[in-house]
Structure 1
Amino acid sequence: MLDIINLASIPVFLLIFVRVAAFFVTLPLFSYRTIPTPFKIGFSFFLAFIMYYTVDASNIPLDEMYLMLLIKEAIVGLMVGLIAYIILAAIQIAGGFIDFQMGFAIANVIDPQTGAQSPLTGQYFYIIALLFLLSVNGHHLLIDGIFYSYNLIPIDAFIPFQDGSIIEFVIDTFNQMFLIAFQMSIPIVGCLFLVDVALGIIARTVPQLNVFVVGLPLKILVSFIVILLFLSLYVVLVRTLFESMFDSIHGLMQLFGGA
């Protein structure tokens, strides 16, 4: 009880709370607008309270370096959560590729979770991916990543920004995101490209047929059929996407810790 009210432990607890709260600002699932802000703050507080007794750190004095430690903790939380969000954004980008070929690019919808506009197909795939993440307890793994981040990033250490490895890692993650988005969209985009080739041949051989009237409904029908056949492969790609997300989180934490 005396340790709980010890004023010397407040700086360490505040550093832990800043990192956990910054995680939940950008982390998928936990950062969405549908989750009330008081719940996020309360969950961050109690999780930081539990983690305080597991973090191996001595009392940190309130000096001029303490503000730098607070900024470092906020950067760590925001960047690690942002890396996970960037990887999951590949689903939205893949949906944008598909909608552009289908003719649905102009019909964006508002994502109630983020408040941003997203493509129809991308939103459909994204909901399936989130449900799959919840079904395999992926949100527990995200919380485990927060909990065990102190094994790689000590609370009293600073981020090694000098060598530029963190910036290169973020750029590689962006490249990986676009590669995954291309892999997820290529079956449907490839089929629609063949439909465009077939419509072009028909337009040359049968000039009386208005391909602009027939083409759009035909491409939508072919897209729905291919998506129905593609869903089983899509689940496999989503599993690979989650593995890449957890590997990226672990790799970024290692770089933050100077490994």
Structure 2
Amino acid sequence: MPVSAWEIPAAWLLNLALLTARMTALTVFSPLPGAAAAPPQTRVALALLLAALLAPSARFGLGPAELAAPAAVWLVGRAALAELVLGAGLGLALRLLLEAFSLAAQTLGFQAGYSYVNMVDPTTQVDASILNVALALLANLLFFAFDLHLHLIRILAESLTAHPLGTFATQPGDANAFIVLGAMMFDSAVRLALPVVALLLLVDLTLGLLNQAQPRMQLLTLAFPMKIVAGVAALYPVLPQSPRVFYQLAERSFELLTALLGR
């Protein structure tokens, strides 16, 4: 069947819609600061902006010939699902990168007693400990301070070259990549939290020995403020190391994403 002239702009608009679907899934699943409180129109506008910026480097996988085929509806549905999966995967990888600090903060807050003071996390819009909110905001600031948002846009542009719109297909090894990302997240969280947790364990042992030596002492009333002070003292030398830990995690994460999307 001959391809008419009106199908050419229709194919272009369809591929632009597929690109917007990839960007929309990315913005929905990525933990952008304040994104949970933002109206849906803001996320759609951000997705359209990213799609407009990356459209010149996009390779269209569906042309007029594919749209004229009898199975055009199935091809379009499969292409849209593939773009949503790819965008969601990139957003999930970004979330795993930033959740390392949140995991470390949850561990420290539970051990040091900071979990008693809660506030609304601007990223997730849920109640979280004050230390969790502080470290989550620190991770977001480091993300922009290291220009990782520019690296993310570069990876998105490279993914459009490696995987033209509508042609992405999952592979058996893709799940292993996210398992590795999760392992790196836990490793970074442990590296941040372990020194403070070790000091708090020594405080608990000291309080236990004091309780054995002086059973009449009201150690329960002393333990809470002592652990809070010890946690603050331990965070003082640990926090300056957090940018280095975050950058190492981000570097390995982006290398893994580049290898995954460049296959």
Name the TM-score, length of structure 1 as normaliser: 0.87
Equivalent-residue separation in structure 1 for 2:87 and 2:34 (angstroms): 12
Q: Cα–Cα, structure 1 residues 49 and 131, in superposed 2: closer, same or farther, change >3 Å?
A: closer
Structure 1 segments (4+ residues) deviating >4 Å: none
Equivalent-residue separation in structure 2 for 1:45 and 1:38 (angstroms): 10
Equivalent-residue separation in structure 2 for 1:125 and 1:50 (angstroms): 31
The DSSP-based 3-state class of the residue aligned with 2:57 is: coil
2:130 alignment partner, one of 120, 142, 154: 120
Q: Contact between 1:25 and 1:31, CA under 8 Å: does it hold in 2?
A: no
Q: Number of matched residues? A: 251
**1:22-33 equivalence runs, <5 A:** 22-29=25-32, 32-33=35-36
* Alignment gaps of 5+ in structure 1: none
2:90 alignment partner, one of 73, 80, 83: 80
Deviation per residue, 1:127-169 (Å, 9 max, x gap): 12212222232222222222221123232424133xx211222
Equivalent-residue separation in structure 2 for 1:106 and 1:252 (angstroms): 41
Q: Contact between 2:101 and 2:136, CA under 8 Å: does it hold in 1?
A: yes
Equivalent-residue separation in structure 1 for 2:56 and 2:163 (angstroms): 16
Equivalent-residue separation in structure 2 for 1:84 and 1:45 (angstroms): 19
How far has the Cα of 1:95 moved from its partner?
0.6
Q: Contact between 1:99 and 1:119, CA under 8 Å: does it hold in 2?
A: yes
Equivalent-residue separation in structure 2 for 1:117 and 1:184 (angstroms): 22
> Kindly, what percent of the aligned residue pairs are identical?
22
1:199 aligns with 2:222: no
Q: Which residue of 1 aligns with 2:179?
A: 171
How far has the Cα of 1:250 moved from its partner?
2.2
Equivalent-residue separation in structure 2 for 1:232 and 1:219 (angstroms): 21
Q: Contact between 1:84 and 1:248, CA under 8 Å: does it hold in 2?
A: no
Equivalent-residue separation in structure 2 for 1:77 and 1:230 (angstroms): 34
Deviates more, 1:222-231 or 1:182-191: 222-231
**Residue type matched to 1:222 in 2?**
A
Q: Cα–Cα, structure 1 residues 233 and 50, in superposed 2: closer, same or farther, change >3 Å?
A: closer
1:40 alignment partner, one of 43, 67, 71: 43
* Alignment gaps of 5+ in structure 2: none
The DSSP-based 3-state class of the residue aligned with 1:109 is: strand
How far has the Cα of 1:119 moved from its partner?
2.7
Deviation per residue, 1:77-97 (Å, 9 max, x gap): 011111110121111111111
Q: Which residue of 2 aligns with 1:229?
A: 237
**Residue type matched to 1:144 in 2?**
R
**Residue type matched to 2:133 in 1?**
Q
2:146 alignment partner, one of 133, 136, 157: 136
How far has the Cα of 1:7 moved from its partner?
2.6
Q: Cα–Cα, structure 1 residues 252 and 108, in superposed 2: closer, same or farther, change >3 Å?
A: farther
How far has the Cα of 1:70 moved from its partner?
0.6
How far has the Cα of 1:176 moved from its partner?
2.1
The DSSP-based 3-state class of the residue aligned with 2:23 is: helix
Q: Cα–Cα, structure 1 residues 87 and 201, in superposed 2: closer, same or farther, change >3 Å?
A: same
Q: Cα–Cα, structure 1 residues 186 and 176, in superposed 2: closer, same or farther, change >3 Å?
A: same
Equivalent-residue separation in structure 2 for 1:30 and 1:147 (angstroms): 23
Name the TM-score, length of structure 2 as normaliser: 0.86
Q: Which residue of 2 aligns with 1:243?
A: 251
